[in-house]
A and B are shown apart, each in its own frame.
Chain A
């Protein structure tokens, strides 16, 4: 943020690049039913979609709708080519080799695939699975079930009361650990996990590392080879793409050794009545007709992000988060409690808060009347809420199309709620 020489806060001028980005999102030009500007601060739940992504869906259905990998006619060949080209784009986006990109519905399916396929084959009683206290239910419940099936033990990397990881006992936690599964970025507090520090130590301890990248891939530059992650999972809809499409990245040797998860058409090499040999990865894990249109549109989404530049995305969100933390701090005298690390360098575009005794759902309802969309509730992290003693929190999350004006609207909305509740 910028300050004038008199020390008064000056609202930063709208960035031309951000203005151009906003113009690419049709929904952001639509006023709400109350005639308000849409202030969308819930991208951690799902992002908005640029025109190019929406058009890619329309183009597929209007111009070359056909099934893939089978048809010999022209539009089937085009559908197959565009679908596989999207896989190439996704591989490039995360620095993977193309056969290491498995299409799934979303992060949840990717994690379940690993838990059942790799987990059932590799986890035994006496092994340990290491998670963190910030995990989303989707990176917790599948491992609870795997622990029940295998007899393995669940362990957790703790966080302090500001939601920062405490790594003091990491060596003990990694002892006997077969798998480490952790969120690249916390969806509730925005905390960025120190992957570069922990992944080498996990490997040294003999563990395989799965990174839940649902909130990482949309917001931070990711190179899976530099990170040396064994699995990296993410969803299209949180990064400008459609719902119903996501990616499981896995190191080729791991994918090759893993048994199939879903079985059926398309994932086979040869089928006899009593026996089947399977296709190579990634198609070994892609049974049935894939989500063709959404995969193609996801490819367009990551092209858009590459064009914008992921370094720019991170810097834009870091600046905006710093501005928001500063503005929200000005409301602490009105009873606003801000949770999580108060350092824009350590979080990624997510801020959780509560206003005095106003329940987060009431706050969200009042903000809604001003066209401001935020999340309220437990954010699918019920154990964390319990640990921290929060019944619910309000959460604002940012993306490439958000501006300081959105933060200002949020603060004005919170002040309105404070007035209504007589605070």
Chain B
């Protein structure tokens, strides 16, 4: 697990990409992990049916915040239907090896919120599928 805290994870934690909020957005969701209180909100702006802009905000551990930050870098140009189908492997690929089972929910919170925004209701946990 200590292998996990690599430079790029800490960089995303301390300097999250696409962080903040949008004045106007077409889809939004937020949620928290009741186990630890980590929070994430995702806002999406669409143009011609694809994501043209994204912002996330939240607070929590390095894993939840870095995973959400990296996710926002992947989704510009995607359709909502494509976002709804993003699997946990996308996140695991981003964050790399070493996530322990006890911290899996931290890594998946951002994707869960993003998929909730895409489908307009609270999505399930990606790691429980």
> Given the complex of chains A and B, what is the CA–CA distance between A54 and B37 in angstroms?
35
> Once the chains are docked, how many angstroms separate the CA of A174 from the CA of B60?
39
Q: B37, A366: Cβ atoms under 8 Å?
A: no
Interface status of A422 (Cβ within 8 A of chain B): yes
Cα distance, A377 to B35, chains bound together (Å): 8
In the complex, whether A77 has a CB less than 8 A from a CB of chain B is no
* A311 part of interface (Cβ distance < 8 Å): no
Do A422 and B100 contact each other (CB < 8 Å), given the known contacts A359-B61, A362-B63?
A: no
**B59 in the interface (beta carbon within 8 A):** yes
Asked if B70 is at the interface of the complex by the 8 Å CB criterion, the answer is no
Partner of A369, one of B2, B10, B106: B2
How far is the CB of A303 from the nearest CB of chain B, in Å? Answer: 35
Decide yes or no whether A357 CB sits under 8 A from chain B. yes
Q: A362-B63, A366-B1, A376-B36 are in contact. List 7 more A-B contacts (CB 8 A).
A: A361-B106, A362-B61, A365-B1, A365-B100, A366-B2, A392-B37, A422-B10
Can you sample 27 A-B contacts with CB below 8 Å?
Answer: A358-B62, A359-B61, A360-B61, A361-B36, A361-B38, A361-B60, A361-B63, A361-B106, A362-B61, A362-B62, A362-B63, A365-B2, A365-B100, A365-B103, A366-B1, A366-B2, A366-B5, A368-B1, A376-B36, A378-B37, A382-B37, A392-B36, A392-B37, A420-B2, A421-B5, A421-B10, A422-B10
Question: Does B14 touch A at the CB level, under 8 Å?
Answer: yes
Do A359 and B1 contact each other (CB < 8 Å), given the known contacts A377-B37, A378-B37, A391-B37? no
Q: How many residues of A contact B (CB 8 A)?
A: 20
Bound Cα distance A422, B14 (Å): 11
A-side binding surface: helix, strand, loop or mixed?
mixed
Measured in the bound complex, the distance between the Cα atoms of B103 and A196 in whole Å is: 43
Interface string of A353-373 (1 = CB under 8 A from B): 000011111100110110000
- What 0/1 pattern do residues 2 to 13 of B give for CB contact below 8 A with A? 101100001000
- Of residues 56 through 85 on chain B, the ones whose CB sits less than 8 Å from some CB of chain A are 59-63
Contacting A at CB under 8 A, from B92-107, are 100, 102-103, 106
Interface contact B61-A377, CB-CB below 8 Å: no
Chain A positions near chain B (C-beta within 8 angstroms): 357-362, 365-366, 368-369, 376-378, 382, 391-392, 416, 420-422
Residue of B nearest to A357 (CB): B14
Give the residues in chain A near B59, CB-CB below 8 Å.
391
With both chains docked as a complex, state the minimum distance between the C-beta of A409 and any C-beta of chain B, in angstroms: 15
Contact B5 A362 (CB under 8 A): yes
Name the distance in Å between B60's Cβ and chain A's nearest Cβ: 6
Tell me, rounded to whole Å, the shortest Cβ–Cβ distance linking A362 to chain B: 5
B60, B62, B102, most chain A CB atoms within 10 A: B62
Q: Given the known A-B contacts A365-B100, A366-B2, A421-B10, are A359 and B60 also in contact in the complex, defined by CB atoms under 8 Å?
A: yes
The reply to whether B103 and A361 form a contact with Cβ atoms under 8 Å apart is yes
Which residues on B sit within 8 Å (CB–CB) of A420?
Answer: 2, 5, 10
Q: How far is the CA of A81 from the CA of B109 in the complex (A)?
A: 52
Most chain B CB neighbours (cut-off 10 Å) among A378, A416, A420, A422: A420
Residue numbers in A under 8 Å from B14 (CB-CB): 357
Q: How far is the CB of B13 from chain A (nearest CB, A)?
A: 8
Contacts of B1 in A (CB 8 A): 365-366, 368-369
The contact string, 1 if C-beta is below 8 Å from chain A, for chain B 33-60, is 0011110000000000000000000011
CA distance A362 to B4 in the complex (A): 10
Within 8 Å CB of A366, what residues of B? 1-2, 5
